[in-house]
Amino acid sequence: MLEEGDIISLDGTLGEVYIGELKSEPPKPSQEFNILMEWSDEFRRLKVRANAETTTDTLKALEFGAEGIGLCRTEHMFFEGERIIPMREMIMSDSVQGRKRALKKLIKYQISDFESIFILLKDKPITVRLLDPPMHEFLPKSDIEMTDLANVIGVTPTYVREMLLRLSESNPMLGHRGVRLGLSYPEIYEMQVEAILRAAHKLYKDDGITITPEIMIPLVMNASELAFNDSKELAATIEPVQLSDAHQQYQFLSDESMRKVMVSHRIVSPMLVGIKDTSGLGNNAEELQTASVLMDNTVIRPMQVTILDELEKILEYNGIDLDIYFKTLQPLEFTDLTNAISEAEIEKETGVKKDIEEEVKEKVEEQIENVE
Mean pLDDT of the chain: 76
Planar angle of CA 87, 152, 100, nearest 5 degrees: 40
Q: Where are the domains of the chain?
A: 46-219, 295-371
Mean local confidence (pLDDT), 150-158: 84
pLDDT at 249: 62
Residue 281 is predicted with a pLDDT of 44
Average pLDDT value for residue range 218-236: 64
CB 246 within 8 A of CB 254: no
Per residue in 295-350, pLDDT tens? 677 777 888 888 888 898 888 888 888 888 887 665 555 555 454 445 666 565 55
- Mean pLDDT in residue range 280-292: 55
What confidence category does residue 35 fall into, taking pLDDT thresholds of 50, 70 and 90?
Answer: very high
Is the separation of the CB atoms in 106 and 191 below 8 Å?
A: yes
Q: Which CATH number applies to 46-219?
A: 3.20.20.60
371 pLDDT more than 70: no
Residues 6 or more apart whose Cβ sits within 8 Å of residue 149: 85, 88, 92, 139, 140, 160
- The DSSP code sequence of 97-147 is HHHHHHHHHHHHHHHHHHHHHHHHHTTS-EEEEPP-S-GGGGS--SHHHHH
CA dihedral 131→292→172→279, nearest 10 degrees, is -40
Nearest to 216 by CA among 136, 133, 127: 127
For residue range 316-326, what is the model confidence (pLDDT) as tens digits? 888 888 888 88
pLDDT at 72: 93
Q: Tell me the β-bridge partners of 72.
A: 128
